[in-house]
Amino acid sequence: MTKTRIKKAKVRVLIHWYLTGSVIKGTVDSGCKEVETHLEVDSDDEPEKVRRVVRLAKKGCFAEQMVVRPVPLTGSIRINGEAFSL
């Protein structure tokens, strides 16, 4: 790959969820308002070389790209073997 020497890397991910309403009343709603990522990298390589690796890693992260570029969600439901539509 890039042969960049990374001595240590630490990432912290914070997800700001919300849950409102009531299941009993049928008004429940949930979701995510924001996702934060905080990355710390220790390397003796040139800073621009490390920055390039970080940029590529973020572009290659499936989870991060799914948040940045949402995709359609498809699925199916079956109850007692029969198809059910919401």
Q: Which domain holds residue 52?
A: 8-84
Q: CATH number, domain at 20?
A: 3.30.300.20
Count of domains for the chain: 1
Q: What's the confidence (pLDDT) of residue 86?
A: 85
pTM of the shown model? 0.73
The whole-number average pLDDT for the span 47-75 is 93
Mean pLDDT in residue range 7-30:
97
Look up residue 83 and give its two tokens. Answer: 């198809």
71 within some domain: yes
Q: How many CB atoms lie within 10 A of CB 51?
A: 12
User: What confidence category does residue 2 fall into, taking pLDDT thresholds of 50, 70 and 90?
Assistant: confident
Reading the block at residue 39, the tokens are: 């990355």
What is the number of alpha carbons within 13 Å of residue 78 lying toward its C-beta? 3
Does 3 map to a domain? no
Q: Residue 1: is its pLDDT beyond 80?
A: no
> Would you say residue 48 has pLDDT above 80?
yes
The percent of residues above 90 in pLDDT, for the chain, comes to 91
37: amino acid identity, one letter: T
* pLDDT beyond 80 at 3: yes
